[in-house]
Structure 1
Amino acid sequence: MDIVGLGWLGTRTRNADALAAFYQDVLGLRPTHTEPGFWVFTLPSGYNVEVFDESYAGKEHFDTGPVGGFAVRDLAGAVAELRAAGVELVGEAGPTWQHFRGPDGNVYELVEAKP
């Protein structure tokens, strides 16, 4: 597996409004998308940091804390390597990502590397 860096970070929290304000007002991250219960901040690298309110649908599997995404050059190949190693894949793959559960019980993600 060819991991080239961290490519995504997502947090599902009951304090989503406060976390989003902290990211914007204190850390200076630029919001590129907002909707009720969901914020996307795009880093200069082009990768995203996302905040989800705990009631935001579709992220219920983010149940162990922040989810870090490892950027890989060959997503399909990396997912095949996870399967071959018997790693639990979480949910359906998206067009550029796949969540999985690590041996520590936490949820992580593989994300397609930016060109």
Structure 2
Amino acid sequence: MKVEGITWHAVVLKEPAFAAAKTLYIDTFGLKPMMELEGVAVFQMENGTLLELYQPHTVPPYGYNDSLAFGFRVDDIEQASAEIEKAGGELLGEITRVPDMGYAYRHFRGPDGRVYGLNEQR
């Protein structure tokens, strides 16, 4: 497995902090949401890094470590998943592919008990 960087970040915030952070990212940082759903805003930066804002009710059932998680960009998500599992990690859910973005992701619980992400960009 080749890790290319930490390129996915999730922040979970209750209102009004969710709205305040979203305003900061848009008005001050000049980021434009690439996707917005009820309680979720996804920002992609020029280098491919993703920053996702969540409200608590939109987080997957396994959670994001009391409000923060990050993910590793890998060259082959299937191979990385197998290696994580072999190393004692618990794979959470299936690999999700977003074809129009050339993007795939999955979450896992590391041997340390924390939730992380794997993502692949092609």
Settle same-fold status: TM greater than 0.5.
yes
Partner of 1:59: helix, strand, or coil?
coil
Measured after TM superposition, the shift of residue 43 of structure 1 is 0.4
CA contact (8 A) 1:9 1:67 kept: yes
Amino acid at match of 2:54: F
TM-score, normalised via structure 2 length: 0.80
Task: Give the alignment's Cα RMSD to 1 decimal.
Answer: 1.8
Equivalent pairs, count = 113
Query: Gapped runs of 5+ residues in structure 1?
Result: none
* CA distance 1:22–1:100, change in 2 (3 Å): same
How far has the Cα of 1:101 moved from its partner? 1.4
| Alignment map for 1:1-115 (pairs within 5 Å) | 1-14=1-14, 15-56=17-58, 59-64=60-65, 65-95=67-97, 96-112=104-120, 114-115=121-122
Write 1 or 2 for the structure with the bigger share of helix: 2
Q: Match for 1:84: what amino acid?
A: K
4+ runs deviating over 3 angstroms: none
Shift of 1:79: 0.4
Give 1:37 deviation, angstroms: 0.8
Structure 2 letter corresponding to 1:6:
I
Q: Summarize the Cα distance change of 1:39–1:3 in structure 2 as closer, same or farther, 3 Å threshold.
A: same
The C-alpha deviation readout for 1:13-66, integer Å capped at 9, x for no partner, is 21322221222223332222222211111100233211111122x523234132
TM-score with structure 1 length normalisation? 0.84
Identical positions, percent? 34
Secondary structure in structure 2 of the residue aligned to 1:34: strand
